[in-house]
Amino acid sequence: MSAIENRLTEVCDRIRRAELQYQRTPGSVQLLAVSKTHSAATIREALAAGQCLFGESYLQEAMAKIGQLRNQPIEWHFIGRIQSNKTREIAENFQWVHSLDNPRHAIRLNDQRPAGVPPLNICLQINVDAEESKGGLEPDQAGELIALFSQLPRLQLRGLMTLPAPVQGVEQQRIAFRRLRLLRERLKSPEIPLETLSMGMTADLEAAIAEGATIVRVGTAVFGPRNTKR
Ligand SMILES: *Cc1c(COP(=O)(O)O)cnc(C)c1O
């Protein structure tokens, strides 16, 4: 077994154990392997071990890997800060975006999503603990952006994402994730069920699963420490 295969097995075990512990439907939490700073060869190893969803934060770096891994059965998720001048590459090369937080980017992604491929799946990034430095919508801005989606047929709004400040201990970690879950309950409608909650990383995936995560975004536990030289 390769090191990555071992780690993937461990992470999947963590997810399954948390699903059981918190009475979640078995298999209801998907693993998004966050491969930023790791090579295409490393991604191939994870792919060989059965992992198909990969998350990237830096567009330049992601584009190189997507090029090297064309024709592989990979679903690419963009999870980084969106820059206006990069929306076309995102719209053309990814299946999901987790980090949408403003209407201008939504309109650009919609206009630039190529015809002939399915709509781009979108999660709105919510700044649940109102950290100054961080991307994401304030919770009470989300309703307005959601309303815009009726005019954006090339985007499919799937749910909400958050990246809370790191805290210690499951009970403390659950607070921010609970805020996202409750916001989803408030905002969802029959037309827009917001079924996806993208939350939880290496250090806090159990807390996220306890609060209803449907996608956990895990880097370090899958690939080991990140390469600092990109
Ligand atoms: C890097 C990153 C992750 C993964 O973090 P780990 O702690 O390595 O699991 C998840 N989500 C986002 C948005 C990230 O940038």
Using CA positions, which residue lies closest to atom 4 of ligand 1?
219
What residues of the chain score a pLDDT lower than 50? 230
H helices, E strands: number in the chain: 9, 8
User: Residue 136: what pLDDT?
Assistant: 95
Q: Where are the alpha helices (H) located in the chain, listed in sequence order?
A: 3-21, 40-48, 59-68, 87-93, 103-112, 142-148, 170-187, 205-210, 220-223
Which residue ranges form the domains of the chain, and what is each CATH number? Answer: 3-223 (3.20.20.10)
Radius of gyration of the chain (CA): 17
Q: Judge if the beta carbon of residue 217 lies within 6 A of ligand 1.
A: yes
Q: Which atom of ligand 1 is nearest to the CA of 222?
A: 9
φ, ψ dihedrals at 68, nearest 5°: -70, -20
Residue 44: exposed, middle, or buried by beta-carbon count in 10 A (0-12, 13-18, 19+)? Answer: middle
- Read off the pLDDT of residues 44-78 as tens digits, 9 standing for 90 and up: 999 999 999 999 999 999 999 999 999 999 999 99
User: Residue 129: what pLDDT?
Assistant: 86
CA of 34 to the centre of ligand 1 (A): 6
User: Residue 229: what pLDDT?
Assistant: 59
φ, ψ dihedrals at 154, nearest 5°: -90, 0
CA of 200 to the centre of ligand 1 (A): 8
The Cα–Cα gap between 91 and 109 comes to: 5
